[in-house]
Structure 1
């Protein structure tokens, strides 16, 4: 059973002990960020710093000038890690320590892209733009993301990749100084708030027999009780909750359009990565959720389709037994990698103390690999607990 820990290049660059420390956890692989969104990260063990502020979404390697010459949408370079190619430097150190390296590529999550090219963003039913969420239905965005996937995934020394946000992003987004919790939104209301009404999506709804103006009005009517209530908002969850809010006919038509767009992006991105890796044994996984209407880092997918497209999935398994059963159950009986992803940073809601028990439960449900989020962000005591758990798992 393979276990991989997530890392950023800045966790390794400038720290000669980082690779050995990660190897000694008992993992065999590292999933190393090559294209990532903006973040502020603690580097509690680094000998030279304690905070890295990644000010915008960027690639952590030098992008190919020939690939992007003359193109309006192109990846941004980074300035917060020393060196021309921090990804390559970190990957080499990890490989020298005996760890297999896979790239970690974040796609449809880019606030700087939305700020500089606002027409690329998701637009909700009220006309508000989500600058962090590129609309994947737009041809220019689709092309950009597919080319980014190919370049950022197939880095020198990488044996595979994990594509995050390879699908729809929407309302849910942890933002700086977030002030959106005043009204509770279950995932059904969040789906309605994530529906896009840009020109491309309006045309797409038309292809499903919907009038985009009428659909937008229906979404606003469905959400009005949420805003007009006492602050309790909407607790509706699941696809049945979406149908209750919007009506089954309208809900199903929106999901047909969005599912078609997402599947096309996923097929194109995986094909582009495989073409770029031609001649190499290169694994392609997607961060995913088996509920097709879900948006975000773990994009909603159809289980059978995604495992016929990619080599497997990475599934969010932090939580209780029911949560793991919900994400792993739809993949039962299907071939392909099913990597169970566990948060191991206590301060970010992870549970390293229950890792052994939770991993055993995931394996009993059909998980084939483990992922640990995140070896660079975890405290020393958290990592000690993880190492102890991994020493017992699989005995």
Structure 2
């Protein structure tokens, strides 16, 4: 199979078919299942996701891994290739398609089966073009193509998927179609590596793209006040206040129970994303004020009460625990009032910047509050952001302009006593 060659493909006109699906089963033993076009489970994917669950991963990991596997299977289905007969050329074409082609446009369920010309297009007046920087935040908007981070994640998942089945000797699989980079120009690995730097423990995939380093962005006090004013309910104000005060991830705060909010200790308990441990986080008094206003309003409407009941609920019947997607859409509606594209994770970055700006707050405490494993993770916040660099540059130009408009007085002629001149004319600026 290693010598098998594929005929040339016209990837320019290739369209990924929307067949199969990733089914959320609500079964803790198998939370997500990849289904083929006939609704049957894809067994190789099921075995791999089951192995992930046994490795004590986050419940959200099978979902993200399952989406990558479904995308790869759709590619194979469209070309009529069995998963265990895929070769390097297939992996190359798949990663090339993800790099150059536009992402498939998802059609809303209300418009499925209709003529594309009959589907109404949402008005985009005032919005930046896809992939261009937002004029308010400076962050690029979501583009039409797959982001480098998405392509890198997909390559890593598929490479580990085939490594898993190679170890199990599954089917007719002989080689991994997603190979690692092999540098054959030197006699040994890392021949030109700087000995003062640490070695990268993970070898890079051959088709793995370079992912640019992300610079965390903070929401300024002025913009945060405007976003806060655009919220519609006490629940949303309480959520925003807790996110900025605790630095918790968006989905972590949504796991809190009513008994987790300790007003006396001014802490709120969350379930950490990675370790699944319970941790109490300090918060502000304002956040608990908004929480109490929300609870009084919700309990009068009939929201369930109880120590083990969820803390955050939907605003309308039937009462359901608030999920991440609903919270994200709530924040997006407030963003639209400013024309911004901040995300819920930017609130975590804002909280981190606020804590690190406090000279009396040791970084090791910030690490514990954020739930980071290593203190070095905070190094990204020590780098100047784009807004800081621009502000410093503008201040420099303003100082130079003032210096040109008001130059300092010339030094006194030789022979004059500086103390006598200071007594006569006062202290002169140097």
TM above 0.5: no
For this structure pair, what is the TM-score category when the shorter chain's length is used for normalisation? under 0.3
Instruction: Compare CA radii of gyration and give the structure with the larger one.
Output: 2
Normalised by the length of structure 1, the TM-score is 0.25
Q: Tell me which protein shows more strand as a share of its residues.
A: 1
TM-score by length of 2: 0.23
Q: Greater RCO between the two (CA within 8 Å, min separation 6)? A: 1
